[in-house]
Structure 1
Amino acid sequence: MQTSKATPQPRWRLSEERTQRKWSQQEVADLIGTTYVNISRWERGITRPNPYFRRKLCALFDKNEQELDLGGGTRFSASHAGEAEKVTAGVASTDGASSSEAIPDGALYDSAIPLQPAFTLIGRDNELSQIKQRLRKGGSVALTALNGLPGVGKTALSITLAHDPEIREHFRDGILWAGLGPHPNISGMLSRWGTLLGVSANALATMSSDEEWAKTLHAAIGTRSMLLVIDDAWTVEEALAMKVGGPNCAHLVTTRFPGIASHITVDGATVIHELDEHESIELLKKLAPGVVDKEEKKATDLVHAVGGLPLALTLMGNYLRKEAHSGKSRRIGAALKRLAVAEERLLLREARAPVERHTSLPTETPLSLQTVFEVTDQQLKEPERAALYALSVFPPKPNSFSEEAALAVADCTVETLDALSDTGLLESSGTDRYTLHQTIADYAHFALVGTRFSASHTAAYEKLIAFVISYVELHKKDYELLEMEFNMIIAALEAAQEKGKQAELVRG
C-alpha cells in the first residue's frame, strides 16, 4: 500500500522576516553564503536548512529557530553573527567524519571566498570557458592548475569561477577556498575547512599529521559535489596537503610556478597569458575612461610598456582615475608623465582592504609591482638572483635571446637558468631561447643599477658587448641569424655608446 507524500508546509515566519526587511531571496542567500534556490526551498518547506544554516538564519534575523519555523529553540542574537560564521556545519561523529545530519540540504560557500570583482573580467572569456569545461569533466582533469606570471590575474579568474552560477550549479554542495601564499598556515586552513564540514572540535584537536587531516576531511566531504580552490600555491607539498576532496569534487590550484603546475596536473596546466593591446586598452578605459579617451596614444604606450600585465594596468588605471577626478589637464599630464618612467610604475602602490589582501604579501605591505615581484625574488638563491638581474640587459618581451647569450651575459650555469624558469620569472620562448616580461625586466634592471649591484650592472653590459662582438664576427655573412638578433645588437650598440666603447663594437 502506497502512502501519499506529506504536503510541504511553508515557513511563513521565515518568509515574513525577509520581506519585512525588504530583502530578496538572493540578498539573504548572499548574506549567509548559499543560493536563492535554497532560500526558496526553505521558505516553501520543501527542505529544512541544516544546523549550520539554521544558526546563520537565526543570527541574521535575531530570532530563534521556533520563531522562524525552523524548529528547536536556540536563540542567536545579531551580536552573535560573527560567531555563527564559525559554527560547525552539522553534528560530527566521534571518528571525525560528519554524520548524515551534517550533510547540508543547501550548498556551503566558504566565507573566505573573496568578493566578486567590481566588473566583468576583460579578455578572459576563452580561459573561463576552458577552465569551466575542465572542472566539470571530472576524473583526472578535475584537478586543474592555473599558471602564469605574478599579476597576470590567476586569482581574479578563480574568484570569478567561484561566483559563477554554472559552476555553483554543477558543484551543488558548495565551494571551499584556501589562499596559501609563501608562508601558509596549512593546519589552520584545514581546521577551518573541518569546522565548516562538521568535524567535531574534539576530532580537530587530535589532528597531528597531514595524513590524518586528509583522511578526516576526505571522509567529511564524502560524496558531496564540491569545488576546492587552492589559490597561490608556492610548494607542491602545500598544494597537495589541501587536496582532500572526494570522488565528486574538483580542485582548482593557482600558482606562479610552472614546475608546481606541471607536477600536480596529469594533462598539463592552463597557462594564463597577458592581455593583448585591445584588451589592455579596454581595461584602462574601464578604470580611467576620461583619460584614455583623451590620451589614447599615451595610454597605448603605457600598455606596451607593461606588456599587458593586468596588475600593472589596474594599478595605473586606478591611479589615473584618481588624478583625473578634478578634470585638470595639468594633473592628468603629470600623471601620464610619471607613469612613462619604469621605476615609477614599479613603485606605484595602493592599499587594499584586509579581505582583498594579496596572499603573497605580508599583512601591512601595500600592493605594487615592486612588492609582488620582490616576494619571489626573496626566494631565489644568490646565483639565480644575480643571473636574473644580469639578463635584464637584453631587450624584453616580445624580444627573445638565446641560451648561449644568456649563459655568456649572466655568467651562470644552465641549472641556474632552469631554476629561474621554474620560478616563472624567466620564460621559455621556443627551443633554447628565453624572454623576460617587460615588467620583470624593469624590476630586475632597477635592482641591477642599485648600489649593491652597481658593479654587476657594468659587468653585465660589458659581457653583452663582448658577446655581440663575437657573435657578429662569427656570423657576419649569415644575415638571417643577424636579423634574428637585431634588437640585441642594437642594445649592445646603445650600451657601448653609453659606456664609451662604441669604437670597439664598431670595429668588431
Structure 2
Amino acid sequence: MDADIATARLQRGWSQTMLAEALGTTTSMIAAWEEGTAQPSPFFCQALQALFSQDNRAEEQARGENITFLLLPNTTPLPRMRHEQETDSLLVDPSWMGQRTFDPFLPNPPRGANSLIGREELLQTLQQQLLHQRNLVLYGLPGAGKTVLAVALAHQPEIQAHFYDGILWAGLGVNPHISSILRRWSNMLNISLPRDKTTIRQEEWREIFQSNLGQMRLLVVLDDVWQSDAVEALQVGGTECTYVLTTRFSRMARHLNASEAVRIPELNDKDGVKLLTRFVPEVLQQEGEIARELVRAVGGLPLALSLMSKYLGSSAAMHQPRRLQTALSHLRNAERRLRLHVPQPMLEVLSAIPPGAKLSIESVIAVSDYHLPEAARAALRALAILPARPVLLSRAAALFVADTSEDVLATLCDAGLLEQQANDYYALHILIADYARTLGPNEDAPLRLIRYGARFIEEHHNDSAALEHESAILLAALDNAWERQQDTLLIRCSHLLTPNLFRWGGYTAAEELLRRTLSAVERSGQTADRIQTLEHLSTLAYLQGNYTQARTYSDEGLLLARQQQDRERIVGLLTIQGDIAHELGDYAQSERFYQEGLLLARQHNKQEQMSALLKSLGVLAKNRGNYVKAREYYQQGLELARQLDQRDQISRLLINLGVIATELGEYPQAEEYYQQGLELAQQLGHREHICVLYANLGVLADARGDYARAEKFLREGLELAREMGHRERISLLLLNLGVVINRRGNDMQARSFLNEGLELAREIGHRERISLFLLNLGDVFMEQGHQEQALTYYSEGLALARQLGHQERISDLLLHLGTAALEQGQLAQAKKYLQEGLTLARQLRYPQLTCRLLAAWGELYLQQGDFARAQDFFQKMLADTPSGNRILTAHAQYGLACIAANQGEREKARTLAEQSYRTFEALGHRKKSLVGDFLLRLLYPPKNSI
C-alpha cells in the first residue's frame, strides 16, 4: 500500500502534513507508510480507503455516471491545494475555511431528485429539532438509512447557517479509535495539544476541548455508535454544541441526554417501488406486481432496495430484456438477495465492515450477529421459523419456540435484530429472518412451534379473538405439522381452527389447510374426520361461490353421515345443501333441506343448529315475498341465539332483520339493526359479516338518497370482499356500486361494475343475482337510449326470475318492461306489464316497489292526458312513500308538477318542481337535469307556448 498512498496523495495535490491532519496522525507516520517502513493499522486502512476512493467516483460522474446509492452517497474530498501554475479557482474558499470548521470526513449529501425517497417529511422534522438545539439519536435496522439522514441533515443550508462555527463528523463502528478522532478534530480546530504527553486521558480531552471551544456553536455527528463509552468520550463540546448520533440501538438515547431515540422506519410499498425501479422504470410499467413483491420481500429496507435497484440498473443497461427478466428472477430468491453486493466503501457500513469486504445485506447483519452471545444467536435461529413482520409475535410464542429467557430476547432487541413492540409483542424483520435461516436450522424449534400451536388452538378454540391474534403463528405451526406428517394433530387442530378462518375471511389459508387435512384423513382412514372435513370443504366452496363443488362435497359427506348416523353432521350438511339450492334458485328443494334439518335439530335439542336453520328459512321466505313469515323466523332464531349468547349468530340475524326493515321502508329501524350487527361483527373480527353490513348500509343510504355515503360504504365493502376472495360478496357489491354510480349519472363506470359483476355471477351460477344484474344493465342501456338492448336484458331477467319464483324480482322487471313499452308508445303492453307488477308488489307489501309502480301508472296517464287519474296515482304514491325516502317523494312532486303545468297552474307547478329539484340536486341524482329543464321552461316559456 506504500506506493499507492503516495500516488493517491500526490494526484490530489496534498502534502504529507495535510494528509496527516485529515487522518489525525503525524507527518512522520505518513512518511513511514509511504516509505514502507510501517504499515497502517486496520482503522487507518479504512480511513485511507474512504478518503481516496471518492476521486474515482468523481471521475465516473464526470463521465456521465448518474447511478448513485440512496443510502451510500459519495464522500467529500479534502480541500484541493492550488499549484503555482494553476489559474482555476480553488475548490474551497480559504476565507470560508477560516470562518468555520467543516469536517472533510463528512460525506457528500445524496444526489439526484430521488435521493431521499420517502424521507422528505422526516428530514424536515429532524431539522426542526436540531434547529432548537435538541440532541438526536437516530436508530433502526442495519440498512434503514440512518447515516444518509444524518449526512443530509448536516448539509441542509439552514443547519449549516445555524451551526455557524462548524460541523464535525466521526464514523465509529464496533472498535472506534477515539484518540485518533479527537486528535483529528483538534488539528481541524487549531487546538494545541500538550507536547509532553503521548497519552491523554478522557477527562483531559474534555478539558482541552471545552477550554478552547468555549461558546462555539458546533454540530457533532457520531455515526454507527455501538458503545456508550464512545459517546461519552466524544462529548467534548461546550454548552452550545449539539449532537446527532446514529446507531442500531434505541438505548443509546439515554447516553446523549436526548429526549428519545427516533426510529428510522423502512419504506412503504409506494416509496419502496419508486426506489427499486428508479433506474428501470419499465419494471414498474411491465412488472408492477413483481416490483411490489420484491419490496415486501425485503420489508422495505432501503439498503436492500438500493442494492437491488443498482443490480437491475446494470442488467437493464445492456438493453436485453432477457437479462432484466433473469435479474428479476434472481432477486426473488431470498439467499441471492441477502448476498447481493457492491464494492466498498459505503456509508452505512464503512466503520463496521473490514476493509476490502463486500457490502451485502448479509454482511451488514452479520456484524450485529457476530457480537451476540451464543444463547442469543441460538434464539435468533429459532425465532426465524416464526412469521416475520408485519406479523407480531406474542411474548409467550417467542419464549416457547426459542426456548429462552426474556433477558435473551432483550439482548436481541438491544442488538437491533428483534424489535420490541407494545403490549408484550415482538417483530422480526423479514431480512433478519432470512439471514438467520442461512445460519442453519434449529432442529428443535419446529417441534416446539407445533406443540405451542396445538396447545393454543385447543385451549382457545372458542375464543375467536385470541385465535385471530395468534393466527399467523398457528398456521405456521400447522405447516410444520404437515411437513412432519403429524396427521392426528393436524386433523384435530384443523377441525377447531377452520370455522374461525371462515369467520375472518381467510379462505385462501382455509383452502390450503383443508386440502392438507383431507390428505391426512385419507392416510388415517377415520370416517368421522372425513365427514367433518367434507363439511368444511363444502362450506368453503359455498362461501367462494363454487356451488357445484360445494354440492359434490356435501353429497359425499351427507351420505357418510347418514351411514354413521351422525345426527349433528347430518344437520350441518343438510343446512349447506339448503343454502346451495337456495343460491341456485331452487327454493322448493332448499326448503325441504332446511325443514328436514330443523326437524332433526329439534328432536335432539340442538339449539345452535335450530337458530341457523330458522335464519335460512327466513331468507327463503323473504325471497319468496313473505316478509311476515321471514320476520317471524328471524325473531325466533334471534331469541335462541341470545339465549346461547351466540354473538356470531346474533350479528347474522340482525343483518337479516335490517334487510326486511329496509325493504319495508322502516329506515330508522334498519339503521339500528345494522349498527348493532356491525358493532358485534367488529368485536368478533368477523370480516364476512362486516363486508355484508357495509353492503347493506350502502343500500340503506341509497334508499335514503345519500349517494356519497352509499358509495363510501360499498367501496369499503368491495375492498374487503376482494381481500377475502369472496366471489359472491364481490358480485353483490359490484351490483350495488353499479346501481349507485348510475344514479349519479356515470353510465360508463356503472356499466363497468355491472358487467364485471354479471360475469362473476354467471361463473358461480348465482341465478338470482344474474337476474338482478340484467335488470340494472337494462336500466343503463335505457338511459343511454339503447331501448332494444335494454328490452333484451329485461326480458332475459324476467324469464329467469319466473323460473326462480322470485316474486319481488318479477314485479321489479315488469315495472321496467312496462316503462320501456310506455316510452315506445305501446300503451296496451305497458298497462299489462304494470298491472301485473303492481298486483304482485301489493301482495308482497313492498312499499318502495309499490310506489315506483304507482309512479309508472301516473306517467302513463299523464302521457294520455288523463290528468285526474294521473294525479290520483301520484297522490297515492306520496301517501305510500316510506318516511325518509326523499327520492320517491321528489319523483312524486315532479309528477304532480307536470300535471299542474298542464292544467295551467304554473305557480303550483313551479313550487312542486323547485321542491323536487332541490332534493335531486342535494342528492346528486341524475334526474336533477330533467327537473331543471322543466323549471326553465316554466320560468321562461317559449313564445309560441300557451
Q: Is the 8 A contact 1:306 1:439 kept in 2?
A: yes
| Superposition deviation, residue 211 in structure 1 | 1.3
Q: Is the 8 A contact 1:153 1:310 kept in 2?
A: yes
Residue aligning to 1:146: 138
Mapping of 1:89-238 within 5 angstroms? 105-119=98-112, 120-138=115-133, 141=134, 143-200=135-192, 202-203=194-195, 205-238=197-230
Residue aligning to 1:303: 295
Secondary structure of the 2:222 match is strand
Q: Tell me how far apart the structure 2 counterparts of residues 402 and 374 of structure 1 sit (CA, whole Å).
A: 26
Q: Deviations over 1:136-175 (max 9, x none)?
A: 112xx2x211111110000000111111111111111111
> Which of 290, 296, 299 pairs up with 2:282?
290
Q: Tell me how far apart the structure 2 counterparts of residues 199 and 425 of structure 1 sit (CA, whole Å).
A: 41
- 1:268 corresponds to 2:269: no
Q: Deviations over 1:339-386 (max 9, x none)?
A: 111111001111024788622111111110000000000110000110
Residue aligning to 1:37: none
Residue aligning to 1:331: 323
Residue aligning to 1:386: 378
Q: Tell me how far apart the structure 2 counterparts of residues 56 and 317 of structure 1 sit (CA, whole Å).
A: 32
Deviates more, 1:160-169 or 1:211-220: 211-220
Q: Deviations over 1:379-413 (max 9, x none)?
A: 10000110011011111000011111111100001
- 1:490 corresponds to 2:475: yes
Deviates more, 1:151-160 or 1:262-271: 262-271
Residue aligning to 1:401: 393
Deviates more, 1:311-320 or 1:198-207: 198-207
Q: Which amino acid in the other structure matches residue 430 of structure 1? A: A
Larger Rg: 2
Secondary structure of the 1:60 match is coil
Q: Which amino acid in the other structure matches residue 322 of structure 1? A: S
- 1:60 corresponds to 2:52: no
Secondary structure of the 2:221 match is strand
Q: Deviations over 1:220-243 (max 9, x none)?
A: 322211110000000111112111
More helix by share: 2
| 1:441–1:473 CA distance, 2 compared to 1 (3 A) | same
| 1:287–1:203 CA distance, 2 compared to 1 (3 A) | farther
> Which of 393, 399, 409 pairs up with 1:417?
409
Residue aligning to 1:245: 237
Residue aligning to 2:451: 466
| Superposition deviation, residue 262 in structure 1 | 4.0
Q: Tell me how far apart the structure 2 counterparts of residues 288 and 209 of structure 1 sit (CA, whole Å).
A: 53
Secondary structure of the 1:237 match is helix
The answer for unaligned runs of 5 or more in structure 1 is 1-30, 32-54, 69-77, 91-102
Q: Is the 8 A contact 1:146 1:255 kept in 2?
A: yes
| 1:487–1:355 CA distance, 2 compared to 1 (3 A) | closer
Q: Which amino acid in the other structure matches residue 445 of structure 1? A: R
Q: Deviations over 1:4-48 (max 9, x none)?
A: xxxxxxxxxxxxxxxxxxxxxxxxxxx9xxxxxxxxxxxxxxxxx
Q: Is the 8 A contact 1:146 1:254 kept in 2?
A: yes
Q: Tell me how far apart the structure 2 counterparts of residues 262 and 386 of structure 1 sit (CA, whole Å).
A: 29
| 1:306–1:56 CA distance, 2 compared to 1 (3 A) | closer
Q: Is the 8 A contact 2:253 2:259 kept in 1?
A: no
Residue aligning to 1:46: none
| 1:375–1:136 CA distance, 2 compared to 1 (3 A) | same
Q: Is the 8 A contact 2:137 2:258 kept in 1?
A: no
Q: Give the share of equivalent positions with the same residue, in percent.
A: 38
Q: Which amino acid in the other structure matches residue 129 of structure 1? A: Q
Q: Tell me how far apart the structure 2 counterparts of residues 302 and 262 of structure 1 sit (CA, whole Å).
A: 36
Q: Which amino acid in the other structure matches residue 82 of structure 2? A: L
Q: Tell me how far apart the structure 1 counterparts of residues 338 and 463 of structure 2 sit (CA, whole Å).
A: 39
Residue aligning to 1:45: none
Looking at both structures, which has the greater relative contact order when contacts are Cα pairs under 8 Å and sequence separation is at least 6? 1
- 1:505 corresponds to 2:505: no
Q: Deviations over 1:188-231 (max 9, x none)?
A: 11110011111235459554211111221222322211110000
| Superposition deviation, residue 261 in structure 1 | 2.8
| Superposition deviation, residue 63 in structure 1 | 8.2
Residue aligning to 2:461: 476
Q: Which amino acid in the other structure matches residue 132 of structure 2? A: K
Q: Is the 8 A contact 1:207 1:213 kept in 2?
A: no
Q: Which amino acid in the other structure matches residue 431 of structure 2? A: T
Q: Is the 8 A contact 2:163 2:217 kept in 1?
A: yes
| Superposition deviation, residue 328 in structure 1 | 1.4
Q: Tell me how far apart the structure 2 counterparts of residues 203 and 505 of structure 1 sit (CA, whole Å).
A: 76
Q: How big is the alpha-carbon RMSD for the aligned residues of Structure 1 and Structure 2?
A: 2.7
The answer for unaligned runs of 5 or more in structure 2 is 1-53, 55-77, 494-946
Q: Is the 8 A contact 2:147 2:347 kept in 1?
A: no
Secondary structure of the 1:180 match is strand
TM-score (norm 1): 0.77
Q: Which amino acid in the other structure matches residue 318 of structure 1? A: K
Deviates more, 1:311-320 or 1:118-127: 118-127
Residue aligning to 1:14: none
Residue aligning to 2:29: none
Q: Is the 8 A contact 2:379 2:403 kept in 1?
A: yes
Q: Deviations over 1:274-306 (max 9, x none)?
A: 111111111122243333333211111000101
Q: Is the 8 A contact 2:482 2:490 kept in 1?
A: no
Q: Is the 8 A contact 2:344 2:356 kept in 1?
A: no
Q: Is the 8 A contact 1:324 1:331 kept in 2?
A: yes
Q: Tell me how far apart the structure 1 counterparts of residues 299 and 292 of structure 2 sit (CA, whole Å).
A: 10
| 1:111–1:357 CA distance, 2 compared to 1 (3 A) | farther
Q: Which amino acid in the other structure matches residue 377 of structure 1? A: D
Mapping of 1:340-355 within 5 angstroms? 340-353=332-345
Q: Tell me how far apart the structure 1 counterparts of residues 348 and 462 of structure 2 sit (CA, whole Å).
A: 57
Q: Which amino acid in the other structure matches residue 424 of structure 1? A: G
| 1:400–1:326 CA distance, 2 compared to 1 (3 A) | same
Q: Is the 8 A contact 1:288 1:318 kept in 2?
A: no
| 1:156–1:354 CA distance, 2 compared to 1 (3 A) | closer
TM-score (norm 2): 0.42
| 1:274–1:432 CA distance, 2 compared to 1 (3 A) | same
Secondary structure of the 1:301 match is helix
| 1:272–1:204 CA distance, 2 compared to 1 (3 A) | farther
Q: Which runs of 4+ in 1 moved over 4 A?
A: 201-207, 354-357
Q: Is the 8 A contact 2:168 2:219 kept in 1?
A: yes
| 1:317–1:192 CA distance, 2 compared to 1 (3 A) | same
Q: Which amino acid in the other structure matches residue 244 of structure 2? A: L
Q: Which amino acid in the other structure matches residue 106 of structure 2? A: I
